[in-house]
Amino acid sequence: MPAFHKYFLLVIFLAALPRAASAEPEAISVLADQSLSVAITEIGRSYARHSGRIVNISYLPPQSQQKQITEGAAGDILITPLLQWIEELKMQGVMDVYSMTPVAKNRLAFVGPVESALAVDWEKGFPTSELIDALHKEPGLVIGDPTLLPEGAYAKEALHALNVTADLDPYMLYAKNMDQMLDIITKQGGYGFFFNSAVWNRTDVRVISLVPESLHRPIQYYAVVLAGE
Protein backbone atom coordinates (compact mmCIF):
# COMPACT_ATOMS: atom_id res chain seq x y z
CA MET A 1 0.00 0.00 0.00
CA PRO A 2 1.35 3.47 -0.82
CA ALA A 3 2.97 5.06 2.20
CA PHE A 4 0.90 8.25 2.06
CA HIS A 5 -2.18 6.24 3.00
CA LYS A 6 -0.50 5.30 6.25
CA TYR A 7 0.65 8.83 7.00
CA PHE A 8 -2.80 10.30 6.47
CA LEU A 9 -4.32 7.70 8.76
CA LEU A 10 -1.67 8.36 11.39
CA VAL A 11 -2.57 12.05 11.33
CA ILE A 12 -6.20 11.27 12.10
CA PHE A 13 -5.22 9.04 15.02
CA LEU A 14 -3.12 11.81 16.54
CA ALA A 15 -5.20 14.86 15.64
CA ALA A 16 -8.80 13.76 16.09
CA LEU A 17 -8.73 12.24 19.54
CA PRO A 18 -8.12 15.38 21.62
CA ARG A 19 -11.42 16.73 20.32
CA ALA A 20 -13.28 13.63 21.46
CA ALA A 21 -12.72 14.07 25.17
CA SER A 22 -11.21 16.53 27.62
CA ALA A 23 -9.00 13.88 29.23
CA GLU A 24 -7.06 11.38 27.17
CA PRO A 25 -8.38 7.83 27.63
CA GLU A 26 -6.02 5.00 28.46
CA ALA A 27 -7.38 2.93 25.58
CA ILE A 28 -8.59 3.81 22.10
CA SER A 29 -11.20 1.71 20.29
CA VAL A 30 -11.13 1.83 16.50
CA LEU A 31 -13.79 0.38 14.21
CA ALA A 32 -12.23 0.04 10.76
CA ASP A 33 -13.02 -1.45 7.38
CA GLN A 34 -11.32 -4.81 6.84
CA SER A 35 -9.86 -3.70 3.52
CA LEU A 36 -7.45 -1.39 5.38
CA SER A 37 -6.47 -3.93 8.03
CA VAL A 38 -2.76 -4.08 7.08
CA ALA A 39 -2.19 -0.33 7.26
CA ILE A 40 -4.37 0.35 10.30
CA THR A 41 -2.88 -2.53 12.30
CA GLU A 42 0.61 -1.16 11.62
CA ILE A 43 -0.45 2.36 12.58
CA GLY A 44 -2.17 1.14 15.74
CA ARG A 45 0.95 -0.67 16.90
CA SER A 46 3.16 2.32 16.15
CA TYR A 47 0.83 4.73 17.94
CA ALA A 48 0.59 2.41 20.95
CA ARG A 49 4.39 2.26 21.22
CA HIS A 50 4.83 6.02 21.06
CA SER A 51 1.86 7.06 23.20
CA GLY A 52 1.79 4.28 25.78
CA ARG A 53 -1.95 3.88 25.19
CA ILE A 54 -3.78 0.69 24.29
CA VAL A 55 -5.28 0.55 20.79
CA ASN A 56 -8.15 -1.90 20.24
CA ILE A 57 -9.06 -2.38 16.58
CA SER A 58 -12.14 -4.16 15.23
CA TYR A 59 -12.50 -5.27 11.61
CA LEU A 60 -16.03 -6.66 11.87
CA PRO A 61 -18.36 -6.36 8.85
CA PRO A 62 -20.13 -2.99 8.55
CA GLN A 63 -23.46 -4.45 9.69
CA SER A 64 -21.91 -5.69 12.93
CA GLN A 65 -20.17 -2.35 13.50
CA GLN A 66 -23.44 -0.50 12.90
CA LYS A 67 -25.15 -2.65 15.52
CA GLN A 68 -22.34 -2.01 18.01
CA ILE A 69 -22.59 1.76 17.59
CA THR A 70 -26.40 1.76 17.72
CA GLU A 71 -26.36 -0.28 20.92
CA GLY A 72 -23.82 2.08 22.50
CA ALA A 73 -20.78 -0.18 22.43
CA ALA A 74 -17.45 1.49 23.16
CA GLY A 75 -15.84 3.10 20.14
CA ASP A 76 -13.71 6.20 19.62
CA ILE A 77 -12.90 6.25 15.90
CA LEU A 78 -14.69 4.85 12.86
CA ILE A 79 -12.87 4.49 9.52
CA THR A 80 -15.15 3.54 6.63
CA PRO A 81 -15.77 4.13 2.91
CA LEU A 82 -19.55 4.13 3.51
CA LEU A 83 -20.45 7.81 3.21
CA GLN A 84 -24.18 7.11 3.52
CA TRP A 85 -23.56 5.42 6.87
CA ILE A 86 -21.66 8.47 8.11
CA GLU A 87 -24.61 10.66 7.14
CA GLU A 88 -26.89 8.35 9.14
CA LEU A 89 -24.58 8.64 12.16
CA LYS A 90 -24.82 12.42 11.88
CA MET A 91 -28.61 12.24 11.92
CA GLN A 92 -28.50 9.92 14.94
CA GLY A 93 -26.21 12.28 16.84
CA VAL A 94 -23.62 9.59 17.60
CA MET A 95 -20.58 11.23 15.99
CA ASP A 96 -18.65 14.47 16.20
CA VAL A 97 -19.89 16.20 13.04
CA TYR A 98 -16.75 18.35 12.85
CA SER A 99 -14.36 15.40 12.91
CA MET A 100 -15.15 13.87 9.50
CA THR A 101 -11.87 13.70 7.59
CA PRO A 102 -10.90 11.95 4.33
CA VAL A 103 -7.91 9.76 5.18
CA ALA A 104 -7.24 7.38 2.30
CA LYS A 105 -8.28 6.30 -1.17
CA ASN A 106 -8.41 2.84 -2.66
CA ARG A 107 -8.63 1.11 -6.03
CA LEU A 108 -10.75 -1.78 -7.22
CA ALA A 109 -8.69 -4.75 -8.40
CA PHE A 110 -9.64 -7.60 -10.72
CA VAL A 111 -8.12 -10.73 -9.20
CA GLY A 112 -7.64 -14.34 -10.28
CA PRO A 113 -5.65 -17.49 -9.48
CA VAL A 114 -1.87 -17.21 -9.31
CA GLU A 115 -1.47 -19.35 -12.42
CA SER A 116 -4.01 -17.38 -14.48
CA ALA A 117 -2.84 -16.02 -17.84
CA LEU A 118 -5.92 -13.85 -18.32
CA ALA A 119 -5.14 -10.24 -19.30
CA VAL A 120 -7.24 -7.10 -19.49
CA ASP A 121 -6.89 -4.24 -21.95
CA TRP A 122 -9.46 -1.76 -20.68
CA GLU A 123 -9.30 0.29 -23.88
CA LYS A 124 -10.67 -2.74 -25.71
CA GLY A 125 -13.25 -3.52 -23.03
CA PHE A 126 -13.63 -6.31 -20.52
CA PRO A 127 -12.53 -9.80 -21.73
CA THR A 128 -15.92 -11.38 -21.15
CA SER A 129 -15.51 -14.38 -23.45
CA GLU A 130 -12.00 -15.11 -22.22
CA LEU A 131 -13.17 -14.98 -18.59
CA ILE A 132 -16.07 -17.33 -19.27
CA ASP A 133 -13.65 -19.76 -20.92
CA ALA A 134 -11.26 -19.47 -17.98
CA LEU A 135 -14.17 -20.37 -15.69
CA HIS A 136 -14.90 -23.39 -17.91
CA LYS A 137 -18.36 -21.91 -18.44
CA GLU A 138 -19.21 -22.49 -14.76
CA PRO A 139 -20.12 -19.90 -12.09
CA GLY A 140 -16.95 -18.52 -10.54
CA LEU A 141 -16.93 -14.72 -10.84
CA VAL A 142 -17.15 -13.78 -7.17
CA ILE A 143 -18.68 -10.48 -6.14
CA GLY A 144 -18.99 -9.24 -2.58
CA ASP A 145 -22.65 -9.01 -1.59
CA PRO A 146 -23.29 -5.28 -2.17
CA THR A 147 -25.49 -5.14 0.95
CA LEU A 148 -22.64 -6.47 3.10
CA LEU A 149 -19.35 -5.57 1.40
CA PRO A 150 -18.74 -2.12 -0.13
CA GLU A 151 -16.36 -3.57 -2.74
CA GLY A 152 -19.30 -5.49 -4.15
CA ALA A 153 -21.21 -2.28 -4.84
CA TYR A 154 -18.22 -0.78 -6.67
CA ALA A 155 -17.77 -3.99 -8.69
CA LYS A 156 -21.40 -3.90 -9.79
CA GLU A 157 -21.01 -0.27 -10.84
CA ALA A 158 -17.94 -1.08 -12.91
CA LEU A 159 -19.54 -4.07 -14.64
CA HIS A 160 -22.63 -1.98 -15.42
CA ALA A 161 -20.46 0.78 -16.88
CA LEU A 162 -18.70 -1.83 -19.03
CA ASN A 163 -22.09 -3.09 -20.21
CA VAL A 164 -21.23 -6.73 -19.41
CA THR A 165 -23.56 -7.41 -16.47
CA ALA A 166 -26.11 -9.35 -18.50
CA ASP A 167 -23.45 -11.57 -20.11
CA LEU A 168 -21.68 -12.32 -16.82
CA ASP A 169 -24.69 -12.60 -14.52
CA PRO A 170 -25.04 -16.41 -14.99
CA TYR A 171 -21.42 -16.82 -13.82
CA MET A 172 -21.56 -14.57 -10.75
CA LEU A 173 -21.32 -15.83 -7.18
CA TYR A 174 -22.10 -13.53 -4.26
CA ALA A 175 -20.05 -13.84 -1.08
CA LYS A 176 -20.81 -12.57 2.43
CA ASN A 177 -17.19 -11.93 3.45
CA MET A 178 -13.70 -11.63 2.02
CA ASP A 179 -12.62 -15.08 3.22
CA GLN A 180 -15.36 -16.67 1.10
CA MET A 181 -14.25 -14.61 -1.87
CA LEU A 182 -10.64 -15.69 -1.49
CA ASP A 183 -11.63 -19.35 -1.12
CA ILE A 184 -13.46 -19.26 -4.45
CA ILE A 185 -10.33 -17.95 -6.15
CA THR A 186 -7.65 -20.00 -4.39
CA LYS A 187 -9.56 -23.29 -4.11
CA GLN A 188 -11.96 -23.21 -7.05
CA GLY A 189 -10.02 -21.24 -9.65
CA GLY A 190 -12.46 -18.36 -9.67
CA TYR A 191 -12.04 -14.64 -10.34
CA GLY A 192 -13.32 -11.60 -8.53
CA PHE A 193 -13.16 -7.94 -7.56
CA PHE A 194 -11.47 -6.78 -4.35
CA PHE A 195 -10.25 -3.53 -2.86
CA ASN A 196 -6.60 -3.40 -3.88
CA SER A 197 -5.42 -2.80 -0.30
CA ALA A 198 -6.84 -6.20 0.67
CA VAL A 199 -4.88 -8.22 -1.92
CA TRP A 200 -1.88 -6.18 -3.11
CA ASN A 201 0.61 -8.08 -0.91
CA ARG A 202 -0.93 -11.55 -1.09
CA THR A 203 0.98 -14.38 -2.75
CA ASP A 204 -1.95 -16.80 -3.16
CA VAL A 205 -3.83 -14.71 -5.74
CA ARG A 206 -2.86 -12.64 -8.78
CA VAL A 207 -3.93 -9.03 -9.23
CA ILE A 208 -4.66 -9.11 -12.95
CA SER A 209 -5.43 -5.42 -13.31
CA LEU A 210 -6.66 -2.36 -11.46
CA VAL A 211 -10.08 -1.24 -12.63
CA PRO A 212 -10.13 2.26 -14.16
CA GLU A 213 -11.49 4.71 -11.61
CA SER A 214 -13.73 6.23 -14.27
CA LEU A 215 -15.93 3.11 -14.12
CA HIS A 216 -17.19 3.68 -10.58
CA ARG A 217 -17.53 6.27 -7.81
CA PRO A 218 -14.28 7.26 -6.07
CA ILE A 219 -13.33 4.86 -3.28
CA GLN A 220 -12.70 7.27 -0.42
CA TYR A 221 -12.30 6.38 3.27
CA TYR A 222 -13.33 8.76 6.02
CA ALA A 223 -12.43 8.82 9.70
CA VAL A 224 -14.88 10.18 12.27
CA VAL A 225 -14.81 10.52 16.03
CA LEU A 226 -17.72 8.73 17.67
CA ALA A 227 -19.66 10.52 20.38
CA GLY A 228 -19.35 9.19 23.92
CA GLU A 229 -17.78 9.74 27.33
> What local confidence, expressed as pLDDT, does residue 13 receive?
52
Query: What is the mean predicted confidence (pLDDT) over 44-72?
Result: 87
Express each pLDDT in 10-34 by its tens digit.
555 554 555 444 455 588 899 999 8
Does residue 65 surpass a pLDDT of 90?
no
pTM strictly above 0.85: no
Express each pLDDT in 149-173 by its tens digit.
999 999 999 999 999 999 999 999 9
> What local confidence, expressed as pLDDT, does residue 218 receive?
95
Between helix 37-51 and helix 3-16 the angle, nearest 10°, is: 50
